[in-house]
Structure 1
């Protein structure tokens, strides 16, 4: 009789080799008492765009600074291409870095700024000239090499900072709130510019922001931070459609919150009695038994205004219109429903202006699949 041997699970060392950058059980404390980063684990694949997203003080920038070498972990290990780098100084890590304040040398021209990281690596003048021209072309600033940073707009300065981080062809680029100083239009333009460059070069990027739109626009995966802990790590669409807890649901996109108690639980459906007395059918996500408190999460665009020919919904309620805001492509209506005076619905402006008026009573409905029962 032939005995079949099961394949052994990969060793930790083998697992470390499979990802490009890795944080392994990393913690950070500045005072020896309070942890600003608590047991952070993250694997970044080569060529991936990963964003660390969270409010100010959540620990995301500290993680980036530890990868760059400007901060040292209190506990845990950081690896790059399978090799520990905890004790490696920043200049030996070969990592490109882009800061919010650009950090350009004001007395140097754009071309000289880009040449600097190549000069410290002792490249020949011919190589430097070639790489600088290539980097300028990459960010569409071919004609700006002779200008100084003060002669450029904010968006152009940010492009130079990005080009300088890429000019020596690093395999990993770190970006710390790089678009925070730009106005809305420039910020959106640079989001697509960074996404284009990432797609063209295939470089690995680790990006820090508190702006959810930036994260959703550019990322392959997003790690949502709060209080030094990753709340959820997933693709943008998964984070938006399937948040695992109340913090992620309300930090990513807009949500309606309804609070109550779970009264029935059966498979992929649960019944919740709201504090206002109504009963809602929802999808249980972070509830495991009846009798527990929960917060229901419901996206505004998943709520429908009901007409006579509307399809049936498990959840149907009367609502009083409080406010209607015309936003061009859609209408944002604030309602009073189920004890919540700040209940929002978004409807596409496909048929012209809404006929809803403040004070009017309407019927609304939503599916249990779109209503998630999360932690209280």
Structure 2
């Protein structure tokens, strides 16, 4: 499969002060044509990794390969990489068409080729009628589309995007997420995208690499990350998660039993656990919890007191007191919510073994 790898990070490290490693030991293969998102909290090393690939930062150790060639000594403008930033970085004194023509003229293309490509790029982002406007005359969403067209106009094999939608409002962001995703599907270009917004990462990507403290914690398709996190950091960072602390009582293959602080026992899927007697963190998604009669068939059954209803339009989050935790959340579609439920009610609830994952205990930051 090595021939479908476009970018390879091999043992890449980055330190700014010679002591602290912002990127620890990055080994990562990016496949041709894939949409890969680097996701993580600020300071986790995702943007630094992107900037090393772009050539704006130099690795302290290790090597980055593009199509089998080492990039370590290649300046940014020779890397055949398109870039889209959060602040658009358009030239204010140039029209939209001139902004798009710029990367082509520095590459020495002929005028007829340039005008043909600019025309193509404008229609790709549906801005044909804006070619003679200046960036200052465009909305944020239009400017972002111009920035996108400029990154694609010279038909690079790789496009890097650093929080490109960070400055847009929620509705426009969601619209642009779909536009970028569909453009990617149409053009088949390889995209490496950086964001700290997990919803954006899940919506757009073929694979997501979750960064934390300079290391990739897990790299997988969105659904796998959400449904099958490898460790507690990923479970907590991606989507909403109920965490229960306990210790391992026994393990039988894929299944284990965990005792919680107050003595309750939970049957769980053993994913990332140590020896019997060691601390374990249980992870359960709020939408996987069954209430009242729906919980009768569940192997893990407890009772919980309803503390608060949080209405979110299509679903309701119910904050409950369960197993000594006052912030245990249950998520229910509005259509399935029992209208009789009230704050203060004590109700039975449960979950199945495959929906509770036994993971490493959460380390204090």
Among 229, 245, 259, the residue aligned to 1:243: 229
2:44 paired residue number: 58
Structure 1 residue 276 displacement after superposition: 2.5
Among 311, 329, 334, the residue aligned to 1:326: 311
Among 68, 79, 85, the residue aligned to 1:82: 68
1:336 paired residue number: 321
Matches within 5 A, 1:211-360: 211-307=197-293, 311-351=296-336, 354-360=339-345
Native 8 Å contact 1:331 1:354 kept in 2: no
Among 159, 165, 175, the residue aligned to 1:179: 165
Structure 2 residue 95 is the aligned partner of structure 1 residue 140: no
Native 8 Å contact 1:45 1:204 kept in 2: yes
Matches within 5 A, 1:15-34: 15=2, 17-34=3-20
Deviates more, 1:267-276 or 1:57-66: 267-276
Unaligned regions of 5+ residues in structure 1, if any? 1-13
Cα distance in structure 1, aligned partners of 2:168 and 2:336? 35
Among 340, 362, 365, the residue aligned to 2:347: 362
Count of matched residue positions in the alignment of Structure 1 and Structure 2:
361
> What per-residue deviation string (whole Å, max 9, x for no partner) do you get for residues 101-134 of structure 1?
0000011111111110011011111111111111
Q: Which structure 1 residue ranges, 4+ long, deviate > 2 Å from structure 2?
A: 351-355
Native 8 Å contact 2:4 2:32 kept in 1: no
Among 92, 107, 114, the residue aligned to 1:128: 114
Mark the CA change 1:259 to 1:310 in structure 2 (over 3 Å): closer, same or farther. closer
SS in 1 for 2:183: helix
2:53 paired residue number: 67
> What per-residue deviation string (whole Å, max 9, x for no partner) do you get for residues 16-65 of structure 1?
x5411110110011111111001101111110111100000000000000
Native 8 Å contact 1:100 1:178 kept in 2: yes
Structure 1 residue 312 displacement after superposition: 1.0
Native 8 Å contact 2:296 2:350 kept in 1: no
Structure 1 residue 278 displacement after superposition: 1.2
Structure 1 residue 352 displacement after superposition: 6.6
SS in 2 for 1:105: coil
Native 8 Å contact 1:260 1:275 kept in 2: yes
> What per-residue deviation string (whole Å, max 9, x for no partner) do you get for residues 166-221 of structure 1?
00000100001111111111111110000000000000001100000111011111
1:101 paired residue number: 87
Native 8 Å contact 1:21 1:80 kept in 2: yes
> What per-residue deviation string (whole Å, max 9, x for no partner) do you get for residues 221-257 of structure 1?
1110000000001110110011000000000000001
Superposed CA RMSD: 1.2
SS in 2 for 1:20: strand
SS in 2 for 1:260: strand
TM-score by length of 2: 0.97
Native 8 Å contact 1:261 1:274 kept in 2: yes
Mark the CA change 1:28 to 1:19 in structure 2 (over 3 Å): closer, same or farther. same
> What per-residue deviation string (whole Å, max 9, x for no partner) do you get for residues 78-103 of structure 1?
00001111000001001000001000
SS in 2 for 1:270: strand
